[in-house]
Amino acid sequence: MNTPTSLKVDLINDCNERCSFCPYYGAEGRVINEGLRLIPKTVLDLPLLTRLFEDVQGVVRRIKFSGQGEASLHPQFREIIALAHSMGFDLKLITNGTTLKRNAADVQAHVRDVSVSIHGVGEVHDQIVGLRGAFDKAMTGLDLLREGEGALEEVRMVFVITATNLDQISSIMALSKEKGIPVIFYLDFLPGLHAPMPLDRFRQTIEEIRSAGFTVSPNLPVEELARFMSPGSYVLQPHDCDHVEKELEIDSNGDVYVCRSEIMGNLHQESMRSIIEGTTRRRFLTVIEQETHSECGLDKKLCDRCCYQHPLLK
């Protein structure tokens, strides 16, 4: 059985921002849409997380705190990262940065790798994320993470490219150089739900980003990226997929899955070890393996705009 080496843990399905492009809280949001909560608020409690960490200790190496909510809003966030770090896990945090001022010392002490979402400069960012003052709070947090004896080296900004913030990219690159903080540019993974991307301008912008020495993810030729941002489904065919073997995702309600798989089990009902070794996961891995090497390739519903697209198979 292929054992995962990484867990993506969604501590809480709540967020203090409403990013316009977010699949959970933005247009057609699956958690909150137009102010209406569609899914009950859930959190992974400390006793359950303790059992989980004990169950996978020595097998799983990395834990990423990210998902359908802002991890730092969990009422026991500091205790959780301290526990996971004390048990030897390599920790990564993906955050909107608004709580870093109060959590910076704990993050420095326990987390190795931090990505902070920045989608524009100043009020433009605030408008995109739906929270006044969010930009200043995030930038203050970024500065704090890189100060003092516990200064972190693996700190970066992440910027999601949409049709509405293309004109912010040059300013973000300038900010990155001024502050000495790397930035990675990601693509909008639900372009069909948002304003159409002006593709000629998009191609030019991608070339400018790369010419300036910055990274675009997924790292594909510009014409492939244009296809990615166009209407309809997009799956890079053929491509090799090992992400489904290496990582499992844990919802704040305890459900375990990976990518868009069916639910493989729930941590309130069984151990992570039993889920890893279970028939549901084994069946899903077999399907992906078969599709990877089939003439039709990977399923468009499962793998549309996968953010883990791997290089083309030879």
Structural tokens at position 218: 């997924």
pLDDT confidence bin for 265, thresholds 50/70/90: very high
The mean pLDDT value for 171-197 works out to 91
Task: Report CA-CA distances (Å) from 116 to 8, 94, 139, 213, 262.
Answer: 16, 6, 9, 19, 30
pLDDT confidence bin for 202, thresholds 50/70/90: very high
Q: Could you give the 3-state DSSP secondary structure of residue 146? A: coil
Task: Give 314's contacts (C-beta < 8 A, 6+ positions apart).
Answer: none
pTM: 0.92
Give residue 271's pLDDT: 96
Dihedral (CA of 123, 124, 130, 135) sign: negative
Q: Angle, to 10 degrees, between the axis of helix 199-211 and the axis of helix 169-179?
A: 20
Contact 236, 224 (CB under 8 A): yes
Does the structure show a pLDDT above 90 at 312? no
Tell me the H-state helices in 22-76: 46-56
The mean pLDDT value for 126-130 works out to 95
Contact 62, 5 (CB under 8 A): yes
Does the structure show a pLDDT above 60 at 313? no
Q: What is the pLDDT of residues 142-181, one digit of tens each?
A: 999 999 999 999 999 999 999 999 999 999 999 999 999 9
pLDDT confidence bin for 287, thresholds 50/70/90: confident
Give residue 86's pLDDT: 98
Structural tokens at position 238: 């053929």
Query: Which of 28-42, 112-126, 198-212 is the least confident region?
Result: 28-42
Give residue 310's pLDDT: 42
Query: Which of 195-204, 226-235, 304-313 is the least confident region?
Result: 304-313
Tell me what the pLDDT averaged over the chain comes to: 91
Give residue 188's pLDDT: 86
Give residue 96's pLDDT: 97
Does the structure show a pLDDT above 90 at 14? yes
Contact 135, 125 (CB under 8 A): yes
DSSP designation for 307: T
- What whole-number distance in Å separates Cα of residue 249 and Cα of residue 115? 18
Structural tokens at position 59: 């097998």
pLDDT confidence bin for 43, thresholds 50/70/90: very high
Give residue 30's pLDDT: 80
- What whole-number distance in Å separates Cα of residue 211 and Cα of residue 123? 27
Does the structure show a pLDDT above 80 at 298? no
pLDDT confidence bin for 240, thresholds 50/70/90: low
